[in-house]
């Protein structure tokens, strides 16, 4: 991935991350991050390196549409300017998915807990005349407040529908195909439940995985910022728009908050005190929150990265 650069930014002179800094033929920063290795250059590696020693915080990148959803439950991707941002995923941990938590994704064994009107038949989860919102196939061992991605496939449906239990706001699915949701668990149990007083259908290929990171969300539709650009920017209305992130523990009083300001450059605030939550309501083309001070060279590198993100054509 490359990011556009203006012609007037100060580039790092010497750095372990940027010693081969160079413009490519398109005038973009192509060699920023993971430099000197056999891997393709990755500009985001500059930011990910800040969190290499298990530092806590978050890294939000509006230029990466794959990390944003219009709703807070991760069911509707952001694909264009003007759409709301209800969930933005934290890239500080590389968006690594955890191990599969679903004991039997293909319904081939006795691991599943079938509720009224539900059964395991021929390697599928089958619901026939199920009671509305009955307990279906249950997936335990999850944690409240942690984000998970749940995926399942509807392979047959004639009445009613299926809904993820344990991820608030998940819609009822009554169409064939694969359905996926990313949201914060509000209980210690996730399952696929029946919706509709008489659900008749089959599901298969269930997957439940934790999504590493501290993800920002806004559950109130009217308080969601919009995506604007280019360059891509989270645009708050300066009234009630906000994105909230919750951390496992307080980040302390030596935090750094750095953001890319469209058409201006980098804004880096030091010695910030952040508790277990952070509410963002300031426009940005990239936001970094970290629980420590940056070194001089890190500040130089981050400044160049943020300036590139906010640069207008």
Q: Convert the pLDDT of each residue in 37-67 to its tens digit.
A: 444 456 678 888 899 999 999 999 999 998 9
Of 120-124, 222-226, 294-298, 304-308, the poorest mean pLDDT is in 120-124
Q: What is the pLDDT of residue 311?
A: 86
The rounded distance, in Å, linking the Cα atoms of 20 and 16 is: 9
Q: Kindly report the CA angle at 274 between 268 and 278, in degrees rounded to 5?
A: 85
Q: pLDDT class for 139, splitting at 50, 70, 90?
A: low
Mean pLDDT for the stretch of residues 28-41: 41
* 89-117 average pLDDT score: 79
3-state secondary structure of 48: helix
Triad 19, 21, 27: Cα angle to 5° = 175
pLDDT value of position 228: 94
- Among the listed residues 245, 233, 282, 210, the one whose alpha carbon sits nearest the alpha carbon of residue 57: 245
Pair 160, 199: CB distance under 8 Å:
yes
- Please give the helix or strand (H or E) that residue 128 lies within, else none: strand 124-130
More confident residue, 171 or 139: 171
**The model scores a pTM over 0.85:** no
For the chain, give every domain's residue range. Answer: 48-94+214-310, 118-210
Supply the pLDDT for residue 21.
31
Q: Per mean pLDDT, which range of 6-15, 148-157, 219-228 is the poorest?
A: 6-15
Torsion of CA 188, 192, 197, 198, to 10 degrees: -150
Distance from C-alpha of 73 to C-alpha of 109, rounded to nearest angstrom:
30
Mean pLDDT score, 175-202: 85
CATH number for the domain formed by residue range(s) 118-210? 2.60.120.40
**Which residues are CB-neighbours of 133 under 8 A, at least 6 positions away?**
193, 194, 195
Written as six digits, the tokens of 264 are 């201006």
């Amino acid at each position: 991935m490359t990011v556009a650069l203006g012609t007037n930014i100060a580039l790092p002179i010497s750095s372990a991350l940027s010693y081969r800094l160079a413009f490519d033929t398109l005038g973009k920063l192509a060699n920023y991050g993971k430099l000197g290795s056999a891997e393709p250059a990755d500009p985001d590696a500059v930011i990910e390196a800040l969190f290499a020693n298990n530092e806590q915080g978050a890294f939000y990148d509006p230029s990466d549409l794959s990390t944003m959803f219009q709703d807070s439950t991760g069911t509707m991707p952001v694909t264009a300017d003007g759409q709301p941002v209800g969930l933005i995923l934290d890239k500080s941990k590389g968006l690594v998915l955890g191990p599969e938590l679903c004991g039997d994704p293909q319904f081939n064994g006795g691991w599943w807990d079938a509720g009224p009107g539900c059964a395991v038949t021929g390697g599928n989860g089958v619901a026939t005349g199920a009671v509305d919102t009955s307990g279906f196939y249950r997936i335990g061992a999850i944690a409240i407040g942690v984000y998970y991605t749940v995926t399942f496939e509807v392979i047959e449906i004639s009445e009613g529908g299926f809904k993820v239990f344990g991820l608030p706001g998940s819609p009822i699915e009554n169409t064939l195909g694969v359905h996926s949701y990313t949201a914060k668990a509000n209980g210690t149990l996730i399952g696929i439940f029946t919706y509709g007083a008489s659900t008749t259908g089959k599901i298969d290929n269930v997957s439940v995985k934790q999504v590493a990171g501290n993800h920002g969300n806004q559950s109130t539709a009217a308080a969601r910022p919009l995506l604007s650009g280019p360059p891509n920017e989270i645009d708050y209305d300066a009234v009630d728009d906000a994105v909230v992130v919750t951390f496992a523990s307080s980040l302390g009083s030596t935090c750094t908050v750095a953001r890319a300001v469209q058409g201006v450059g980098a804004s880096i605030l030091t010695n910030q005190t952040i508790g277990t939550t952070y509410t963002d309501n300031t426009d940005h083309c990239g936001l970094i929150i970290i629980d420590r001070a940056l070194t001089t060279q890190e500040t130089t590198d981050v400044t160049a990265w943020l300036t590139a993100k906010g640069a207008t054509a």
